[in-house]
Structure 1
């Protein structure tokens, strides 16, 4: 089948590596406003979801997240499961100051929808044509939620109540072109748009938001009031002290790549290979046979023409796919 010409094609991914957290209570709004890098007031109309950072008092990132409002004093966010326990332990002390409760939402499952060719596929199943409106990014259909990425067309979250999963997916099968993809496709999407993957406990409390492409994902509101770590985050922006950027690297290798492998670059003047200092590999993704994508933080003086390789596997040259 030629999928490029098939306008009814719908690829979906069951995102078991992500977790929905529910934040409820009479102080939920003020708690989030005082903690997160975005202006929570902008969620009041329940028309949008936002990307956000939750930082510690030193301005270091605990986690990044997608967050949206369900109703008054009821919010939900999506974070990586691998760091969930570490994150909850880190914010315990802040919860004591507010009338708020954070709990795992076990009633809903998250699906990623890739490469939707026609919005009709979605709104026919949910009986809501407003889903094609460009300015809106969150939609509610009874107990189900649909989130649209405004900066990347045809990629969306579908959050389904467990009681409706079978019924909804059965409806999609009417189009006869519903394909279950491996979850690596969603991480590939994240890496492609420069959405940083904080997936290891050792990476919590390690980075400043400015080390990521904050302008593209709009995860910081510089016009809101005080929040945890704001003074340090703002001072770093004005002083321009951050000298690292997010890079997407690509390498072909039949070796087992490790997050501890050292990277080295070829010095253009001396023509010698030198170890890259202060490198931090966020994610290594095997996207197909022997082809890997690597999301990594490097000093911002690297350019696309620089030659990079693993010190351990000298025969495999690494190419800079994208600089964010």
Structure 2
């Protein structure tokens, strides 16, 4: 078991009598799930139903912690301040107090089993059975199984230093990618990406039963489509994949999508589902479309 620090993540603390109701009216997930689980994963969308931010919400005492990308932290605070208007909600950046990391099991079989049909989704879990309960107590309850996928281990919001050996972030990224879990800040584009095309519902980031929130009508309309025009896929290259944003073409030299995040020769790609996906290439590298959900 090892600890992977996530210095790119920050923490916002929200508290006040209107906090829950305020969040319930704006986020894609159901804040009431915190009654029965430690954390939820959610998004904040624009009125057109497109991605703005993604984050985790964790209830801790009188606070709800919002764990997010540092690059968007101040934007999120400003957006929340704008939206809360007269509501009794206090919002504060507490990233100078708290650090974020992941407890991840690095003593695992290879995470990229490849068969004749391409990459198969990883079947192992990111944490050892029984570790969650003991670690929650150890870190004052600010610890939670990643709600997006069981293979992604336990996330920790902590003040004290973690003594476990530092793990391999590249291996963590391979597991994330192999299980088709997008990283919002890397894989999605603000004011452009529709969350369902990026499988955010499969990552437990959307509630279809909670009622209204910003962008909800568009999300529901998109969910009724039988086939998405563009969708996220797991892909495998015959060499190390190029950078995010590299265009993907088919055998007819038609542009059908682009790469998003990758780790060595596997990656996520947003592809056009209505064009031929045989013999795909990304900057000269042959790409096999392997899997979607």
Aligned counterparts of 2:78 and 2:187: Cα–Cα separation in 1 = 11
Report the equivalent of 1:49. Answer: 39
User: SS of the residue aligned with 1:185?
Assistant: helix
Aligned counterparts of 2:226 and 2:154: Cα–Cα separation in 1 = 34
- Runs of 4 or more, structure 1, over 6 Å off, are none
Gaps of 5+ in 2: 106-125
Query: In the alignment, is residue 317 of structure 1 matched against residue 290 of structure 2?
Result: no
TM-score, normalising length: structure 2: 0.79
Distance of aligned partners of 1:25 and 1:201 in 2 relative to their CA distance in 1, 3 Å threshold = farther
Report the equivalent of 2:260. Answer: 282
Query: In the alignment, is residue 199 of structure 1 matched against residue 185 of structure 2?
Result: yes
Query: In the alignment, is residue 273 of structure 1 matched against residue 253 of structure 2?
Result: yes
Offset at residue 55 of structure 1 (A) = 1.0
Aligned counterparts of 1:296 and 1:153: Cα–Cα separation in 2 = 20
Report the equivalent of 1:83. Answer: 72
Higher Rg = 1
Aligned counterparts of 2:279 and 2:220: Cα–Cα separation in 1 = 34
Say which structure is richer in helix: 1
Q: Quick check: 111-120 or 75-84, which moved more?
A: 111-120
- What root-mean-square deviation, in Å, do the aligned CA atoms of Structure 1 and Structure 2 show? 3.0
Offset at residue 222 of structure 1 (A) = 1.2
The 5 A counterparts of 1:106-185 are 106=95, 107-115=97-105, 118-119=128-129, 122=131, 139=136, 141=138, 143=140, 145-149=142-146, 151-153=149-151, 155-161=153-159, 164-165=160-161, 168-169=162-163, 172=164, 178=165, 180-185=166-171
Which of 4, 14, 17 pairs up with 1:23?
14
The 5 A counterparts of 1:59-74 are 59-72=49-62, 74=63
Aligned counterparts of 1:143 and 1:117: Cα–Cα separation in 2 = 18
Size of the aligned set, in residue pairs, is 271
Offset at residue 260 of structure 1 (A) = 4.1
Aligned counterparts of 2:279 and 2:272: Cα–Cα separation in 1 = 14
TM-score, normalising length: structure 1: 0.72
Which of 252, 255, 267 pairs up with 1:294?
267
Alpha-carbon displacement from aligned partner over 1:81-125 (angstroms, at most 9, x marks no partner)? 2333444444442133422233222222122122267445x47xx
Gaps of 5+ in 1: 1-9, 132-138, 173-177, 267-271
Alpha-carbon displacement from aligned partner over 1:219-249 (angstroms, at most 9, x marks no partner)? 1111112111112211222244742211122
Alpha-carbon displacement from aligned partner over 1:122-167 (angstroms, at most 9, x marks no partner)? 47xxxx55x6xxxxxxx45464522113642472212222xx21xx
Report the equivalent of 2:212. Answer: 226
Aligned counterparts of 1:37 and 1:211: Cα–Cα separation in 2 = 15
Distance of aligned partners of 1:160 and 1:101 in 2 relative to their CA distance in 1, 3 Å threshold = same
Aligned counterparts of 2:23 and 2:271: Cα–Cα separation in 1 = 31
Contact 1:248 1:321 in 2 (8 A): yes
Distance of aligned partners of 1:61 and 1:254 in 2 relative to their CA distance in 1, 3 Å threshold = closer
Contact 2:9 2:67 in 1 (8 A): yes
Contact 1:55 1:61 in 2 (8 A): yes
Which of 293, 303, 306 pairs up with 2:278?
306
Offset at residue 19 of structure 1 (A) = 1.9
Distance of aligned partners of 1:17 and 1:112 in 2 relative to their CA distance in 1, 3 Å threshold = same
User: SS of the residue aligned with 2:25?
Assistant: helix
